[in-house]
Amino acid sequence: MRKLFIAGNWKMNLLRSSSQALLAQLRSSLSDVANVDIAVCPPAVYLRDAAEALTGSNIGLGAQNVFSQAEGAYTGEISCGMLLDVGCRYVILGHSERRAIFGESDAMVNEKLHATLRSGLTPIVCIGETLEERESNRTLEVVSSQIRGSLAGLSNEQMEKTVLAYEPVWAIGTGKTATPGQAEEVHASIRSLLATMFSDAVSQKVIIQYGGSVKPDAVADLLMQPNIDGGLVGGASLKADLFSTIVQLASKIHK
C-alpha cells in the first residue's frame, strides 16, 4: 500500500507574514491527519522561518528548486546541503515552469536528481505534456522521454525514494483539471515504464502525484484511481481552507 502524499507548491507567492499565517492555520487544521504525508514548499527565502513554524508538526518542508553542485561560484543558486541545513526534507525538481521559463532540460533535472538523492533529500520530479503535445497524441511519448532522461542512472533503491509528479502543462494554473481517466491512463503507463526500467516491485513502491488545478471538488475522484498516489497542489495550497480540505479528503480515501 502506498501512503498518499499531498504537497503544496507555493511558487513565488506570499510574503513573510502571510506565509507564517498560512503555516499556523495548516498546522492546527491538519494536526490530526496521520495517514497522509503532507508537505509545503515555500519560496527559498522563507524556508528557515517555515521550518521553525512547522517544528514538531506532521507537515514536512520542501524547496521548489536546488542546484546540483555542493558549493562554489554559482551566483544565485542554493545547494542540497543548504536546504538540509535549514530543515528541508523535500525538493521539487523539473517543474514545468522551470523547464519552460528557465530552460531546464531533462539532463539538468537528472544532475539535480542525483545530487538530491546523494544528499538524503526526497526529490519530487515533475513531468508532463503541453496541450499541443496532447492534441497531437504524443502524451505518452513525451512523458516517457522525460522519465527516461530525468531518471537516467538511478539504482532501484534510489528510484524507490523518488517521488514523481505527473503535471499536464495545460492543467497547471488554468482551472482545467485532467479527468480522473486522463490522469490514470498516464499514471498507469508511467508505472509500467518504471517496471521495465527498474523492476515491478520498485514500480509498485513509487509515489506518483497528480498536479494541475487540484481543487477540493476534484481531488477525491483523482485519488481513488489505482495509480494516483497524491497531489502536487499549486494555487489551492495558498489558501488554508482549500489545502486543508484537500488533505482531509485524501485522508478519507481507502483503496
Q: Which of 100, 120, 173, 201 binds ligand PGA (CB under 6 A)?
A: 173
Nearest to 232 by CA among 111, 95, 112: 95
234 binds ligand PGA (CB under 6 A): yes
Binding to ligand PGA, residues 64-103 (CB under 6 A): none
- Judged by beta carbon, residue 62 or residue 234, the one nearer ligand PGA is 234
| Catalytic residue, candidates 104, 133, 160, 167 | 167
Q: Is 95 a catalytic residue?
A: yes
Nine cell digits for residue 191? 508505472
Least Cβ distance, residue 94 to ligand PGA (angstroms): 11
Are 44 and 76 spatial neighbours (Cβ–Cβ below 8 Å)?
no
Alpha helices (H) along the chain: 16-29, 47-54, 80-85, 96-102, 106-119, 131-135, 139-150, 156-160, 180-197, 200-205, 216-223, 240-251
Interface with ligand PGA: number of residues (CB under 6 A): 13
Stretch that binds ligand PGA, among 12-20, 108-116, 150-158, 210-218 (CB under 6 A): 210-218
133 included as an active-site residue: no
Q: Give the CA distances from residue 154 to residues 76, 113, 160, 171, 235, in Å, rounded to whole numbers and listed in that order.
A: 28, 9, 10, 29, 32
**Catalytic machinery residues:** 95, 167
Interacting residue ranges for ligand PGA, rule: CB under 6 A:
9, 167, 172-173, 211-214, 232-236
